[in-house]
Amino acid sequence: MARMPFFSVSIGKEEFQWQGVDLPKFIALLTFGFILWRFPTPSGLETNAWHLFIIFICTIIAIMTKPLPIGGVSLCVITLCAITKTLSVEKTLSSFSSHIVWLVFVAFLIARGFIKTGLGTRIAYLFMARTGKTTLGLSYGMIATELLLAPLIPSNTARGGGIIFPLINSLNNEYKSFSDSDESRHKLGAYLIQLLYHANTISSCMFLTAMAANPLIVSFAKDLGIEISWGSWALAACVPGLISLAILPPLMMILLPPTIRKTPHASDLAREKLKEMGALSFNEIVMMFTFGLLLSLWILNSQIGIHPTVAALTGLAVLLFSGVLTWEDVLNEKNGWNTFLWLSVLLMLSEQLNEQGVIQWFSLNITTFAQGLNWVTTLAIVGSLYYLSHYFFASMTAHVSSMFGPFLLVALAAGSPPLPTIMLLAAFSSLSGGLTHYGTGTAPIFYGAGYVTTVEWWRNGFIISVINICIWCVIGFAWWKAIGLW
């Protein structure tokens, strides 16, 4: 979305429009940072460590208030760290070689292959053709599509907005369910919009590569000496995640019931679309092969010794070698390059805060919060506050980068088991996006269609959130106990 000009003035015959930084926000942030910079260094920290902590706090505020897009903020942070000599140039640029950053970037390119070849759309229509005779069956078919695409499309916005949402529009048009009246929107549209939005948030927490901020969580865990692989994440999330997805269609039938319960035309529509698409193209066949190869390598990485990032690069090489993707596609992947930049910077800050002792200092000081409380009570408080705090965020990334680390440290200080606690807060990072109509990049796309009112969205989001919290706290912890995570 283009930035609105902050101000415009006439210079001669031309009108000059300021398109740069949002000046009021920038001045307020600069003033805040300068005041903190003048504070004496707290006991237990080196001066450079304290300055780095200030830069981190200002970065998080900038991500939330957006005086510049997140990529612009990231470049300014790199410059600030180096020009103030808080970090050396080598350390400032260190995370651009991170395997986590490269894994996410390559996953964006593979997602581009799914969309470019039409394989993602074909998969969705195949599920619709087989399950679309009833509204409930259609629901599970669409959820299965979301779940199948989640491991290889790290942007929940790309999955939801680029593949699922156009299919919903096709179905709504087929059944004459429009947003212009209550009677029309309740035929099918409101139900599908709300259902598949929540399916999008649930699938985002089930795989390491299903949401852009998930690798940041892995980085936080690594700073604590805990390694989380792609396979271990998927194993931990599969049972509570599948249960959350399984109960979603009947639950939504109660919360936002559609008046159309039989959808035989959905199967017909899907078959017509598949007929129009014709036989599998060469590019789709290559994409299917790459999809299977990547899943196999990621699942079996501990047995065969191939690093997940190397597996992703292998898949990308296959797509480039075969011509499914061109170098122009790589250069034009704006979302991928944008994520590569900001994720590298956030990882760098996280690693350097840990290396310079800020995380340990913060942990020692924050333990006072948990004194006198057992870990179950503390985790319940921390988890609830972390989940509900997403009411103040319009981005999963901003939520994770600003609040995941501190809340995790509070829970661990009370004796909460590390790996289950990380997985619980990781799940909450995505699930909490369902609370509001602005909670993720996908939300404005779905909400903007006009099928679900604000009151309905917030009410349903809260109810579904309570149920998801119960599933992940009760069934999740039982499953994690069964597989030996604690």
Task: Tell me the CA distances in angstroms from 141 to 31, 148, 168, 265, one per residue in order.
Answer: 53, 11, 12, 15
Q: Tell me the two tokens of residue 31.
A: 């003033």
Q: Which residues pair with 11 in a beta bridge?
A: 14
Q: What is the mean pLDDT of each run of 10 residues along the chain (486 residues)?
A: 54 67 90 93 90 89 84 91 93 85 80 82 81 86 90 80 78 84 92 96 94 88 88 95 97 95 83 89 91 80 78 91 94 85 82 79 68 86 89 80 85 91 96 89 83 92 96 96 92
Give the model's pLDDT for residue 1.
Answer: 45
Q: Tell me the two tokens of residue 350.
A: 């996280």
Nearest in space to 231 (alpha carbons), one of 299, 302, 311, 297: 299
Structure pTM? Answer: 0.74
Give the model's pLDDT for residue 9.
Answer: 56
Q: Tell me the two tokens of residue 419.
A: 């790996």
Give the model's pLDDT for residue 324.
Answer: 94
Give the model's pLDDT for residue 363.
Answer: 63
What are the residue ranges of helices labelled H in 84-187? 89-92, 99-117, 119-131, 135-149, 156-159, 165-174, 182-185
Give the model's pLDDT for residue 267.
Answer: 84
Asked if 404 and 429 touch (Cβ cutoff 8 Å), the reply is: yes
Task: Tell me the CA distances in angstroms from 26 to 17, 23, 67, 83, 155, one per residue in order.
Answer: 18, 5, 6, 18, 28
Give the model's pLDDT for residue 403.
Answer: 82
Residue type at 299 in one-letter notation: I
Annotate 206-258 with DSSP letters as a single string: TSTTSSTTHHHHHHHHHHTT----HHHHHHHHHHHHHHHHHHHHHHHHHHS--
